[in-house]
């Protein structure tokens, strides 16, 4: 979504990967998209008045915070180093860069 000077895979350790990739984006643009897509879902989940609906809505709200705080991330699915059955076959590593203290999304007491 934008050009950058950082390599897209910056931060990933030197390992073997099944798949890998990276992305750079303007947090304001991603935040607007996340709001557009997730706000109607969050509204409907909260309207269910169920604990699970509220929990899922809270996870989606957290996703919006991450979207508005991240400007670059890299991820990869790591190839296991131990024999099958001794280590998880599916291992994912994600490195995100951005504003880790995006206080604008949290009440004052939660930001401490």
Average pLDDT score, the chain: 84
* Any domain includes 58: yes
* Any domain includes 102: yes
* Any domain includes 11: no
Q: What is the mean pLDDT of residues 7-21?
A: 86
* Any domain includes 6: no
CA distance 38 to 32: 10
* Any domain includes 1: no
Q: What does pTM read for this prediction?
A: 0.65
Whether 21 shows a pLDDT value over 60: the answer reads: yes
Whether 106 shows a pLDDT value over 80: the answer reads: no
* Any domain includes 10: no
For 42-95, how does the pLDDT look when each residue is reduced to its tens digit (9 = 90+)? 999 999 999 999 999 999 999 898 888 888 889 999 999 898 889 888 999 988
Look up the domain containing 99 and give its range. Answer: 17-111
Whether 112 shows a pLDDT value over 70: the answer reads: no
More confident residue, 6 or 41: 41
Whether 111 shows a pLDDT value over 80: the answer reads: no
More confident residue, 104 or 93: 93
* Any domain includes 4: no
* Total number of domains in the chain: 1
* Any domain includes 86: yes
More confident residue, 106 or 71: 71
CB 88 within 8 A of CB 22: no
């Amino acid at each position: 979504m934008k050009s950058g000077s950082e390599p897209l895979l910056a931060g990933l350790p030197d390992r073997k990967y099944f798949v890998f990739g990276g992305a750079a984006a303007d947090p304001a643009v991603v935040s607007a998209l996340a709001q557009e897509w997730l706000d109607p879902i969050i509204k409907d989940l909260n309207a269910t008045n169920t604990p699970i609906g509220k929990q899922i809505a809270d996870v989606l709200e957290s996703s919006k915070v991450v979207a508005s705080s991240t400007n670059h991330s890299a991820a990869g699915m790591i190839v296991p180093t131990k024999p099958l059955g001794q280590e998880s076959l599916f291992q994912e590593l994600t490195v995100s860069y951005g504003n880790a203290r995006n206080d604008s999304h949290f009440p004052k007491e939660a930001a401490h």
